[in-house]
Amino acid sequence: MMERHVNPEDPDLYALRALDGEEKQAFEAHVRACPACAAELDAARERVALMGLAAPVAAPAAGVKDALLRRVRAEGAGASGQASPLRAPARPRRMAWLTPVLAAATVAFASLAVWLWARNAAYLRQIDSLQAQLATVQTQSQEIARTAADTDKLLGMPGTVRVGLKPMTGMHDGRVGVLYNAQMGMVSCAGWLPAAPPKKSYQLWLVPMKGKPMSLRVFSGEWNEPMAMHVPAGMEAKAFAVTEEPLGGMPSPTGPMVMEGAGE
Amino acid sequence: MQPAPDSALVERMITGDESALVAVYDRYAAMIFGMLVRMLRDRQAAEEILQDLFFELWRGAARFDASRGSLPAWLMVIARNRALSRLRKREYREFSENIDAFPANAIASPVVLEDEAERSLLMGKMRVAMASLPSEQREAVELAYFEGMTQSEIAARTGSPLGTVKSRVRAGMQSLRRIFDDGTTRQSGRS
């Protein structure tokens, strides 16, 4: 008896999943026993599978590939080389618990890194500020040390005069003491002065026996640091004075005298 | 420059070369994802299936003989089965086409899709062929392919007699089959 095969379209319809009922059962029964139709079914699967190409191409989100690679790495090296069955569960549960842990750890480490980075940046800024302050303090310390050394010299030298400046009318605060040695050409000052009025400066003058007053220092703000200065040697001082001048000082006194003192 | 054959990429995957998986993904993901989105109309669900599909390919690479079968066809079959299972909320347990039992290299005479140009050409032909079907045939074929409906279900959905639906589906599949039989997309030298 001639062997009766299935209808030529049946493999495609079966692969398409369009057959049902008795047609489906009959086809399956025949293919089990017919290698030729089984081979035809394999070819039909390919054709039907590729019918999906009729759908518009769409790009999955980039995160899908990233997530895939994370799963692959979590699975562990060597897993792909084993003959693991294709019937593996849709999602691997073996390492599933690790995913949230790794995610949480990643977030925690990322947060820690950001926090450390911010703290490091803050520390670096603080170090820069402290270094600047240190440089200023070192400069001030050197000046104070030099002033102290100069003052010591002045105090021990004959011919050093002491001058105490007293506030004049309108000057309520301030105290300035001066050590001066004409032969050494050295002046040392200590005391304090308030900040000058707005847009004004206080200016300290040496008033010589002869000639014009010589500017020793302009105070733009409050002053309370000792200072030492060199002046031309041999200049005899008649007095020391503080005047109120335009901001930044003047070559010669122009404003009112707010403090004044003569040698003792 | 010739693209790396699928068989070479699969061999590299077996050795744990992630870049081979990336290459296969880059080659076929958009094609498969388009089909999944068309079927599910849900990008998130489609992405889940897509990721699972390539992950299983990675894990089961050693069992796949790419020299004897078509990797993209196998991927499309499994992806479609997964999508239909989700779409219809049931597992298919049909003869020799159970998802888990389906042999990876069962699809012989592979269509060449490794080359981007060949892939684009075939996709264009499939779209033209589908679009050129009479509307009743196209509707019947699309309900069967993208929604997994049987002929009886299509008849119930469309209100057409079952015999008419069978005729439409068969005629539509015959038209589409001519694309694969015209010899332009099949390499007869490959086995």
As a whole number of angstroms, the distance between CA B142 and CA B148 comes to 9
Give the residue, B139 or A118, on which the prediction is more confident.
B139
- Residue B126 with chain A: CB contacts under 8 Å: 50-51, 53-54
Residues A88/B56, Cβ–Cβ less than 8 Å? yes
How many Cβ pairs within 8 Å bridge chains A and B? 212
- DSSP annotation of A162: E
Give the pLDDT band (50/70/90) at residue A8. Answer: confident
Give the mutation candidate from A22, A24, A51 for the B interface (greatest B CB count, under 10 A): A51
Tell me the average pLDDT across A166-191: 82
Q: Is the pLDDT confidence value at A20 over 70?
A: yes
pLDDT at B7: 86
CA distance A81 to chain B (A): 5
User: Of A51, A60, A88, which is closest to B60 when you measure between CB atoms?
Assistant: A88
User: Of B34, B60, B77, which is closest to A45 when you measure between CB atoms?
Assistant: B77
**pLDDT tens sequence across A187-227:** 988 877 888 888 899 999 999 998 899 999 998 788 877 78
What is the DSSP secondary-structure string of B151-171?
HHHHHHHHT--HHHHHHHHHH
pLDDT at A250: 93
- Residue B70 with chain A: CB contacts under 8 Å: 46
- DSSP annotation of A206: E
Q: Please, which residues 83-102 of chain A have a Cβ atom closer than 8 Å to chain B?
A: 83-88, 90-92
**pLDDT tens sequence across B138-182:** 999 999 999 989 999 999 999 999 999 999 999 999 888 876 666
Q: Please, which residues 146-185 of chain B have a Cβ atom closer than 8 Å to chain A?
A: 146, 148-154, 169-170, 173-174, 176-177, 180
User: Which secondary structure element, helix H or strand E, spans residue A186, and what is its range?
Assistant: strand A186-192
Picking from A33, A25, A24, A42, the residue whose alpha carbon sits closest to that of residue A4 is A33
CB contact under 8 A, B22 and A65: yes
The residue to which tokens 């394999």 are assigned: A42
- Residue B141 with chain A: CB contacts under 8 Å: 16, 51
CB contact under 8 A, A53 and B122: yes
CB contact under 8 A, B108 and A54: no
Tell me the average pLDDT across A91-115: 65
- DSSP annotation of B2: P
- Name the closest residue on chain B to residue A16, using Cα atoms: B145
**pLDDT tens sequence across A65-86:** 999 999 999 877 544 444 343 3
CA A97, distance to chain mean position in Å, is 37
Phi/psi of residue A218, nearest 5 degrees: -110, 130
- Name the closest residue on chain A to residue B54, using Cα atoms: A68
pLDDT at B26: 92
Q: ipTM of this complex > 0.85?
A: no
Residues B75/A89, Cβ–Cβ less than 8 Å? no
CB contact under 8 A, B108 and A39: yes
User: Of A13, A50, A81, which is closest to B111 when you measure between CB atoms?
Assistant: A50
User: Of B21, B107, B151, which is closest to A42 when you measure between CB atoms?
Assistant: B107
Beta-strand relationship, A200-208 and A237-246:
antiparallel
Give the pLDDT band (50/70/90) at residue A97. Answer: low
As a whole number of angstroms, the distance between CA B49 and CA B29 comes to 11
Picking from B107, B57, B84, the residue whose alpha carbon sits closest to that of residue A39 is B107
CB proximity A1 to B under 8 Å: no
The two structure tokens encoding residue B120: 């684009």
pLDDT at A246: 92
**pLDDT tens sequence across A148-167:** 777 777 877 888 888 888 88
Q: What is the mean pLDDT of chain A?
A: 79
User: What b-and-e string marks burial along B140-156, b requiring 16 or more CB atoms within 10 Å of the CB?
Assistant: bbbbbbbbbbbbbbbbe
pLDDT at B51: 96
User: Of B14, B99, B123, which is closest to A81 when you measure between CB atoms?
Assistant: B14
Instruction: Kindly report the pTM of this predicted structure.
Output: 0.54
Beta-strand relationship, A214-219 and A237-246:
unpaired
* Sequential pLDDT tens for chain B (191 residues): 678 888 889 999 999 999 999 999 999 999 999 999 999 999 999 999 999 999 999 988 887 776 666 888 888 888 998 999 888 775 444 433 433 444 444 444 446 677 777 777 778 878 888 888 899 999 999 999 999 899 999 999 999 999 999 999 999 998 888 766 664 444 444 33
As a whole number of angstroms, the distance between CA A182 and CA A143 comes to 21
Q: What is the dihedral of CA B64, B69, B73, B74, to 10 degrees?
A: -30
Give the mutation candidate from A12, A32, A34, A68 for the B interface (greatest B CB count, under 10 A): A68
- Residue B170 with chain A: CB contacts under 8 Å: 9, 13
- Coil, helix or strand at residue A230: strand
- DSSP annotation of B182: S
